[in-house]
Chain A
Amino acid sequence: MIDEGKLSVALHNLAEPDETGPAPIDGLLQRGRRARFNRFTRTAGITMAVVAVAVGLAAVARPREPGPVPLALAAQTTQRATFQFEQTFSLKGPTGETIIPAGTPYQGAYDPVHDRGYRIQVMPGEPHLTTEERQIGDDCYSRNNPRDPWYLSSMSGQRWSGCWRLTDVAEGSALGISASPGDLLAELESAGQVSYAGRTNKGRHEVDTYRFTYRYALDAGPDDHRVLEKHGTVDIEVSTRRIIRLAYGSTDVTGDRDGRYLLAFSQELTLFGFGEPVVVKKPANIATR
């Protein structure tokens, strides 16, 4: 029988060094250097791959805009692609009375590159009052309800009486301002005094906001020289440098004797669906005014 003590001694004896040759130093150093080199190249390769991926991602990701997106640049960028929009209007009289309340919005789409677009206003519960306009270049097709024929007018001949009118109300029309998103964007491109109001939201949803106020002259007819003042705000999506919202008011500040034209008009335009196809077809059954 072997007891624990003897076993322990026997095990300890196993550890006694026996005859061994010298350590193969040269071989170990050779293998060690090679392993070290391989480890270095592997680490360097992984590091380079990581750096390459990081550089690639950085190149793909749009760098953060360091400063505000210039309004003129945003207006130009917005006019390079199609978009959908929603418009609401309201009109107030000289004493602040509401002539047209901000009601049912217009839904539409516009292709600034080919200068064509449409807008529809569907009155809730009253489909027979649905109005629609289609603009294809210089041609404007419009109808006041689905049972009417389409009427053709020229955009260049009587720019504000065809498509994109602000309102059918005579006083409003007298303001002579187009509600065409294309015209509004072009106007913003050369807007007068603008001031940067700051950046809100985060990441892809960052928005730069500008406030603007400027006056401009309008010839509304013989001996009827008007001065209008526009004031409002415009929101720019920083990541795409596009205008996504425009809200403005326009007031006749000519100071008319009887205050006939002292109207306050406001519009809110929201832009979305950039780059989606906009199809505007010439309608059948066209009547000439």
Chain B
Amino acid sequence: MVWETEYVAFVEANWARYLRLARLLTGDRDRGEELLQDSLVRLYVRWRRAATRDPHAYLRRMLANGNISWWRRRRREYLSAEPPDRPAPDTDRPDVDESVRAALLALPAGQRAVVVLRHCEDLTEREVARTLGCTVGTVKSQNARGLRRLRELLNGLHDKEKVNTP
């Protein structure tokens, strides 16, 4: 099947890129891979339609919405059962990267998606809005709040390190 060959080529070429994005969105290595695989399976089912448009946009939307849905489910579970375990930190990159990653994880899932897509994926505000199915105004406001919150968190971490340093 020609379309399946195209799909395989797309996955092989973009696996690393979108695995990184999925991990940033989820804040967890395993959970990120799980999200990407689930999204790629759904992309396989819809490939012929997605390929005629923009498979990258399709996949980004699946990743962002899939993660938000997952967090909503977790929140319901949280309300009705024991508090869930926190995701294990990604320890591949030390220092600043790890601080930023930890601060990102503190953002709400929707806000984190805006910040990640805008700054890590370098999408324009319009593209982020299209990916998340919201207005450009929402993207702007969520991005501004997200960055402010990240700075607060990182400055807080910085101050704490200074205090702890002898």
Contact = CB atoms under 8 A, between A and B. Distances in A.
A27 interface: yes
A206 B40 CA distance: 58
A7 B154 contact: yes
Given A12-B119, A14-B120, 7 more contacts: A2-B151, A4-B147, A11-B104, A15-B122, A31-B37, A32-B41, A35-B41
A15 B40 CA distance: 19
A20 B37 contact: no
B16 A24 contact: no
A38 B44 CA distance: 13
B155 A2 contact: yes
Contacts of A19: 92
Contacts, number: 89
A20 B18 CA distance: 11
B121 interface: yes
Interface stretch (B4-12, B68-76, B77-85, B132-140): B4-12
Nearest to A24: B37
B115 A11 contact: yes
A285 interface: no
B45 A15 contact: no
* Cβ-closest 6 pairs across A and B: A32-B44, A23-B15, A15-B120, A11-B119, A17-B16, A31-B41
Interface string A53-97: 000000000000000000000000000000000000000000000
A17 B20 contact: yes
Interface residues of B, number: 37
Nearest to A19: B92
A29 B147 contact: no
A263 B31 CA distance: 100
Contacts of A23: 11-12, 15
Given A2-B158, A18-B20, A29-B8, A7 B147 contact: yes
Contact of B45 (A12, A14, A32): A32
A260 interface: no
B136 to A, nearest CB: 19
For chain A, give the interface size range: 20 to 34
B60 interface: no
A35 B44 contact: yes
A4 B45 contact: no
Contacts of B12: 22-23, 25
A284 interface: no
A28 interface: yes
17 contacts: A2-B158, A3-B151, A11-B104, A11-B119, A12-B119, A13-B97, A14-B100, A15-B20, A15-B21, A15-B24, A15-B120, A18-B92, A28-B40, A31-B44, A32-B41, A33-B44, A35-B44
Contacts of A32: 7, 40-41, 44-45
Contacts of B11: 23, 25, 28
Contact of A8 (B116, B119, B158): B119
Contact of A25 (B8, B17, B93, B121): B8
A24 B8 CA distance: 10
